[in-house]
Amino acid sequence: MLDPATPSPVDLKDFSAYIASCAAIADQRLQGYAGIEAVARDEAALNEYPRLGRLRPPQDVLIIDQPSPAALDAARQSLLRGEVLLEHACAGEATRLGLGPKYLLSPASDLTPAVLRDMGLGKLAVKPTALSAMSLGRRHMLQLAWDLGVLAQEAGLSPDTVLGRQWLLIIVGETSAERIMADFSQANFYGFDPAKALFMIQRSFHGLDLRPGGGWAYDLAAPKRLHNHGQMLMQSTMNRQILRIDSGGKRFLEWDEYRMLLEGMVDKVSFNIEDLGYLNGALDLTGLATALELGGQGFGMVMEVVANNPRNPQKGGALYHDPQLGRDVMIESFQLRGVRNEDIAFLNKNINHYPNPAKMAAEVRRRGLSMPVSVKNGYLYFQPVQGDVNFLLPTAFVRRALLEPISAWKSAADTEAALKAMLMQERRPGFMTWAENITGLRLQKV
């Protein structure tokens, strides 16, 4: 069993220290295991939430449909002033889709008839070839710039001025980092200020192997894999991991420099690139207004829950009440041994808020996150979860009065919904012409 409320210490001084922590945690948790096969057989039990049998339906979920006019105005002004750090998680490799990095995935070119057949998809309401040749990441960034521009115009401000005030943090993977950073350069940084567009290259790691004499060791012969989005968050608190691109190349920020930037932010919003609702509305003023109010009350994290999709139940963060802890908690589904996806009623939405982000980052840097194990290709890896911050900090859970099902491009079953969302984005009046103007690129389908 593994309790995310009491994580084992993780040393985040540097990557050598992190790897040493991984080996030490493996030695501690896997005593008595004779080999990786035994660990693989017990993986579900090793990761099981310790109070699984006592969990109850959530009890303290706030309905947030009607924030006050003052709260909504505070949210607008925080965006217009550039006081919200906009983080975009783009390191995922779309393993369930099998199509490479999500940011670079372009349906018009990547979803060929052969690929669609391999995905088990028949006739689709929207053909991939009906779309412009834009990647998911390009669509993601354009949507944000468009919505901020609309917000600026509504406030009587210049869209260029408001875009220039925004701070972005783009999380990319090692295999796609250069291509994604090149995409930003080619697209004129989507109208944002290059000096305020920060990147982090999420590190991947070799697996651990059990040595003949005992003890787990980092094996450079093992394949490299990402350690999930929890490692992404922990890495962002390490020294010289955040970078910007300037005329001299890449410049890496010291931890104190990044911490001071966070201290100037009223919120950090973490977007996931696979969220389909985002493609037709990147800014959620109701959610931001709520997060700012709750941050003022001392909450360090705000997590929104949505309904699971009954036609395609998904895994992810699941909300329950833990009577022993005396509060609601968000638990990753791989810790819910024996609970089927279709039995999960409340899932974490793809967007989380961290009001008081400097305090959150400092706590993660100090304590680390829980380290669930994962066996892949005969080696041991870890899969920490970003959402486990809810066990470290006071966390508020919120929902809308009407619980819409989750909408994210996670698997082949979500592909038709993804194509429809992209087509709706392209058909917005003036969107494609505006996109060409702001990027300087030819984007419309000929």
State what percent of residues in the chain have pLDDT above 70: 99
User: What amino acid is encoded at 284 in this protein?
Assistant: D
Q: What are residue 318's phi and psi, to 5 degrees? A: -120, 135
pLDDT value at position 261? 98
- 370 — pLDDT class (breaks 50, 70, 90): very high
Helix (H/G/I), strand (E/B), else coil: 278: helix
- Residues 262-298 have pLDDT tens digits of 999 999 999 988 889 999 999 999 999 999 999 999 9
Q: What local confidence, expressed as pLDDT, does residue 366 receive?
A: 96
Q: How confident is the model at residue 249 (pLDDT cuts 50, 70, 90)?
A: confident
Q: Is the pLDDT of residue 96 over 70?
A: no
* Cα–Cα dist 87/93, whole Å: 18
Q: Are 246 and 194 in contact (CB under 8 A)?
A: yes
What tens digit of pLDDT does each residue of 399-420 get?
Answer: 999 888 878 888 888 899 999 9
Q: List b or e across 44-79, with b for residues whose CB sees 16 or more CB atoms inside 10 angstroms.
A: eebbbbebbeebeebeebeebeebeeebbebbbebb
What is the CB neighbour count within 10 angstroms for residue 345?
14
Residue 199 lies in a domain: yes
Strand, coil or helix: what is 385? coil
What are the helix and strand counts (H, E) for the chain?
15, 18
Lowest mean pLDDT among 40-44, 220-224, 337-341, 379-383: 337-341
Structure confidence at residue 34 (pLDDT): 92
In the Cβ-directed half-sphere of 347, how many Cα atoms lie within 13 Å?
Answer: 23
Q: What is the DSSP letter of 318?
A: E
Q: What do you get for the CA distance between the two ends of the chain, in Å? A: 56
Q: How confident is the model over 6-49, as pLDDT tens digits?
A: 999 999 999 999 999 999 999 999 999 999 999 999 999 999 99
Beta bridge partners, 217, equal 209
Residue 44 lies in a domain: no
- Is residue 8 included in any domain, yes or no? no
Please state the length of the chain.
Answer: 446
**What CA–CA distance (Å, rounded) separates 283 from 208?**
41
Using CB atoms within 10 Å of the CB of residue 211, give its burial: 0 to 12 exposed, 13 to 18 middle, 19+ buried.
exposed
Residue 357 pLDDT level (bands cut at 50, 70, 90): very high
How high is the pLDDT of residue 410? 81
Q: Residue 340 corresponds to which tokens in the numbers above?
A: 């089927």
Residue 194 falls within a domain, yes or no?
A: yes
| 25 inside domain | no
Each residue of 299-323: pLDDT tens digit? 999 999 998 877 777 788 999 999 9
Q: How many structural domains comprise the chain?
A: 1
- DSSP letter, residue 331: E
pTM of the model as a whole: 0.94
Residue 371 lies in a domain: yes
Cα 409 to Cα 103: distance, rounded to the nearest angstrom: 12
- The residue-averaged pLDDT of 68-82 equals 97
Q: What is the mean predicted confidence (pLDDT) over 214-236? A: 96
Strands 208-210 and 216-218: antiparallel
Domain of 95? 54-206+220-439
In this structure, is residue 201 part of a structural domain?
yes
Instruction: Quote the pLDDT of residue 335.
Output: 97
Quote the pLDDT of residue 94: 63
Q: Are 305 and 319 in contact (CB under 8 A)?
A: yes
Q: What's the confidence (pLDDT) of residue 268?
A: 98
Cβ proximity of 38 and 46 under 8 Å: no
Strand partners, 363: none
Q: In the chain, what are the helix, strand and coil shares in percent, each to the nearest 5?
A: 40, 20, 40
**Does the residue 193 lie in any domain?**
yes
Q: Say how far apart CA 242 and CA 250 lie, in whole Å.
A: 10
Confidence of residue 95 (pLDDT cuts 50, 70, 90): low
Which DSSP category does 406 fall into?
A: P
- Residue-wise pLDDT for 175-197, tens only, equals 999 999 999 999 999 999 999 99
Q: What is residue 405's predicted lDDT score, i.e. its pLDDT? A: 81
Q: How is residue 184 written in tokens?
A: 């930003």
Tell me the CATH number at 109: 3.90.550.10
DSSP string, 10-36: ---SSHHHHHHHHHHHHHHHTTT--SH
CA distance 29 to 126: 49
How far apart CA 80 and CA 73 sit, in angstroms, is: 10
Q: Which amino acid is at 369?
A: L
Half-sphere exposure at residue 357, Cβ-oriented, CA atoms within 13 angstroms = 25
